[in-house]
């Protein structure tokens, strides 16, 4: 891939930041991973003082830093409502969404890194190319083989009970927090990963789908469901509380059933 994988950052002396006016608000130190692989070989941390206020999120603080202290800082964000997943990062050693993480709950020092194991484009921005490549491998849409075109012009109905069976997997926002917490992916980038497998199960378990044959090959391979070590790191990291290892286990059982019965 074009972007380089993360290197261990060197500990450097804190960079001086512009003086801030006296305030009764607490000052929190942000220690941020800085690295531009095309320019420098060794990453480093840079520190910034941030004045807190009630309700301040990590993303709010980063946007404030961009506006007032350092416009060169690279960070990815979009919706600011924990829906798009763009602002996923390592916050004090845990993968979280910056837009829903309150600074007041993190202590006097906040350390920010890009998601572990993903290639770094710059600073806190990871290259998600491989992440979405694997997502596309699982045929992420409903496959129809029996309905004619006339049937497809109408709403494709599903009972609330059947819909509830895939609620968790549909709730995945593709943020990559689980990928950064998966020890298998730290050493094998070809592993499909918990997010792609959960999304595959979302379609396999959908009563309207007829595409298990399109997905069985990639799921039942050395880089598919059997590569998972059930470490539960993905479950702990998921900001939407999706039981990802349960989804992987369901996919395993469905594959065995398909291999034995052919359906």
CATH number for position 244: 1.10.1060.10
Among 126, 152, 178, where does a domain finish? Answer: 126
Task: Report yes or no on 72 lying in a domain.
Answer: yes
DSSP 99: G
Contact present, 30 and 61 (Cβ < 8 Å) = yes
Q: Smallest Cα–Cα separation from 237: which of 204, 193, 188, 200?
A: 193
Whether residue 134 sits in one domain with residue 113 = no
Whether residue 175 sits in one domain with residue 67 = no
Task: Report yes or no on 11 lying in a domain.
Answer: no
The two structure tokens encoding residue 77: 């964000």
User: What CATH number has the domain bearing residue 106?
Assistant: 3.10.20.30
Q: How many domains does the chain have?
A: 2
Task: Report yes or no on 110 lying in a domain.
Answer: yes
Neighbours of 51 (CB within 10 A): 15
Task: Report yes or no on 98 lying in a domain.
Answer: yes
The stretch 229-240 carries a mean pLDDT of 96
The stretch 34-55 carries a mean pLDDT of 93
Domain containing 72: what range?
A: 27-126
Give the length of the chain: 263
pLDDT digits (tens, 9 = 90+) for 162-206: 999 999 999 999 999 999 999 999 999 999 999 999 999 999 999
The stretch 86-92 carries a mean pLDDT of 97
Say which residue, 154 or 39, is predicted with more confidence: 39
Whether residue 240 sits in one domain with residue 252 = yes
What are all long-range contacts of 215-222, with beta carbons under 8 Å and residues at least 24 apart?
215/138, 215/139, 216/255, 216/258, 218/137, 218/138, 218/192, 219/138, 219/192, 219/251, 219/255, 220/255, 220/259
Whether residue 96 sits in one domain with residue 204 = no
The two structure tokens encoding residue 173: 């926002």
- The answer to whether residue 2 scores a pLDDT higher than 90 is no
pLDDT digits (tens, 9 = 90+) for 201-234: 999 999 999 999 889 999 999 999 999 999 999 9
Whether residue 159 sits in one domain with residue 241 = yes
Distance CA 250, CA 165 (A): 12
């Amino acid at each position: 891939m074009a972007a380089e994988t993360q290197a261990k950052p060197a500990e450097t002396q804190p960079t001086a930041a512009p003086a801030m006016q006296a305030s009764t608000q607490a000052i929190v130190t942000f220690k941020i991973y800085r690295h531009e692989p095309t320019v420098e070989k060794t990453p480093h941390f840079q520190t910034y003082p941030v004045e807190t206020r009630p309700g301040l999120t990590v993303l709010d603080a980063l946007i404030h830093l961009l506006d007032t202290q350092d416009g060169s800082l690279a960070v990815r964000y979009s919706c600011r409502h924990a829906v798009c997943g763009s602002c996923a990062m390592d916050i004090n050693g845990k993968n979280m969404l910056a837009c829903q993480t309150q600074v007041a709950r993190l202590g006097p020092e906040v350390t920010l890194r890009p998601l572990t194991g993903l290639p770094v484009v710059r600073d806190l921005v990871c290259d998600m190319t491989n992440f979405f490549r694997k997502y596309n491998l699982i045929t992420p849409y409903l496959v129809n083989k029996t309905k004619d075109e006339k049937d497809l012009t109408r709403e494709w109905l599903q009972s609330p009970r059947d819909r509830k069976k895939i609620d968790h997997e549909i709730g995945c926002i593709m943020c990559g927090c689980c990928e950064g917490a998966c020890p298998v992916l730290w050493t094998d980038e070809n592993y499909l990963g918990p997010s792609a497998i959960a999304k595959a199960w979302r379609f396999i378990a959908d009563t309207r789908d007829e595409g298990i044959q399109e997905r069985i090959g990639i799921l039942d391979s050395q880089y598919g469901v059997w590569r998972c070590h059930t470490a539960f790191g993905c479950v702990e990291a998921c900001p939407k509380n999706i039981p990802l290892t349960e989804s992987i286990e369901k996919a395993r059982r469905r594959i065995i059933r398909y291999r034995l019965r052919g359906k």
